[in-house]
Amino acid sequence: MIRAIVAALLAGWAINAVTAAPRAPGIESGDYRWNVREGEQSAALKLKGDRKRGEEVYEVCVACHLPSGAGRPDGSIPQLAGQHRSVLIKQMADIRAGVRDNPLMYPFAATLTEPQELADVAAYIEGLCVTPEHGRYAGPDAARQVSAGRQLYEKACRDCHGAKGEGDAERFHPRIAGQHYRYLLRQMTEIRDGHRRNANPEMVRVIVAYSDEQLVALSAYQASLVVPGSLCRAAPAKSR
């Protein structure tokens, strides 16, 4: 009951505070801030996260990301489960600092009060199962799209995101295996079109020349990837 009340209050806060997030200038001029590694991001990365405390912090996230961390198969909410703690910390810190524009998530991220909470919740989310029921490309031409996307991925994405989409925690490259197709497509489109100011400039240079059709194929392939041993059915949510 408490979790539901908190989630409802924060959801209302998000609706009323979509313009409250700070904004760094320069999005129109391509002012990217990929990984400054300062402030609370740097501090949180140096701390050991406590998963038990992180589970309590995660209470404000479950209304959207679900207790399993699976997000939504329609791509409206990303799968967070199993993501590298370094990536999670970076993205949360970027949203809090206004470096990544996400006005709906900002009020939730703003509830974290110190670097230790960032470290704790990241440790908890990283340990969640990557649920198998994620959204994949479901068009009648799926086989063709996945095949075309694989060629693009092997050429330009594999070195950073890994042969199986496992990412690279040390380089802050996210795990994309198990991510929802529509979320991947939306993010790559935003990166290509200059709307993700905390995107890796190397990725921007690669993806800027891709057509919409190529992004569909690339997303279809990425959503088909599975990291061995990372998928499992999440345990039933605990009663409160």
Given a cut of 50, is residue 15 above it in pLDDT?
no
Q: Which pLDDT belongs to residue 162?
A: 96
- Cβ count near 148 (within 10 Å): 18
**Does 95 reside within a domain?**
yes
Question: Domain of 93?
Answer: 2-126
Q: Please tell me the total count of domains within the chain.
A: 2
> Stretch 153-170: mean pLDDT, rounded?
96
Same domain, 114 and 182: no
Same domain, 6 and 122: yes
Residues 6+ apart with CB under 8 A from 27: 101, 194, 195, 197
**Does 32 reside within a domain?**
yes
Same domain, 86 and 169: no
Same domain, 147 and 211: yes
Q: Which pLDDT belongs to residue 87?
A: 97
**Does 155 reside within a domain?**
yes
pTM: 0.84
Q: Which pLDDT belongs to residue 149?
A: 98
Q: How confident is the model at residue 184 (pLDDT cuts 50, 70, 90)?
A: very high
Q: How far apart are CA 231 and CA 131, in angstroms?
A: 6
Average pLDDT, the chain: 85
Q: Which pLDDT belongs to residue 236?
A: 54
> Stretch 170-193: mean pLDDT, rounded?
96
Residues 6+ apart with CB under 8 A from 168: 84, 160, 161, 162
Q: How far apart are CA 188 and CA 194, in angstroms?
A: 10
Same domain, 115 and 37: yes
Same domain, 13 and 58: yes
> Stretch 142-152: mean pLDDT, rounded?
98
Same domain, 44 and 121: yes
Q: Are 149 and 219 in contact (CB under 8 A)?
A: yes
Q: How confident is the model at residue 232 (pLDDT cuts 50, 70, 90)?
A: confident
Asked which of 93, 126, 159 is the last residue of a domain, the reply is 126
Q: Which pLDDT belongs to residue 4?
A: 42
Same domain, 87 and 192: no
Give the CATH number for residue 160: 1.10.760.10
Phi then psi for 17, rounded to 5 degrees?
-125, 25
Q: How far apart are CA 127 and CA 115, in angstroms?
A: 19
Q: Which pLDDT belongs to residue 52?
A: 97
Same domain, 147 and 214: yes
Asked which of 99, 126, 153 is the last residue of a domain, the reply is 126
Q: How confident is the model at residue 154 (pLDDT cuts 50, 70, 90)?
A: very high
**Does 11 reside within a domain?**
yes
Same domain, 203 and 118: no
Structure confidence by residue, pLDDT tens digits, 164-173: 999 999 999 9
Cα angle 218, 205, 158 (rounded to 5 degrees) comes to 45
Same domain, 9 and 116: yes
Given a cut of 70, is residue 120 above it in pLDDT?
yes
**Does 134 reside within a domain?**
no
Q: How confident is the model at residue 207 (pLDDT cuts 50, 70, 90)?
A: very high
Lowest mean pLDDT among 19-28, 58-67, 129-138: 19-28
Residues 6+ apart with CB under 8 A from 172: 35, 84, 86, 87, 90, 200
Task: Give the DSSP letter string of 212-233.
Answer: HHHHHHHHHHHHT---TT-B-P
**Does 204 reside within a domain?**
yes
Structure confidence by residue, pLDDT tens digits, 33-89: 777 666 899 999 999 999 999 999 999 999 999 999 999 999 999 999 999 999 999
Same domain, 24 and 113: yes
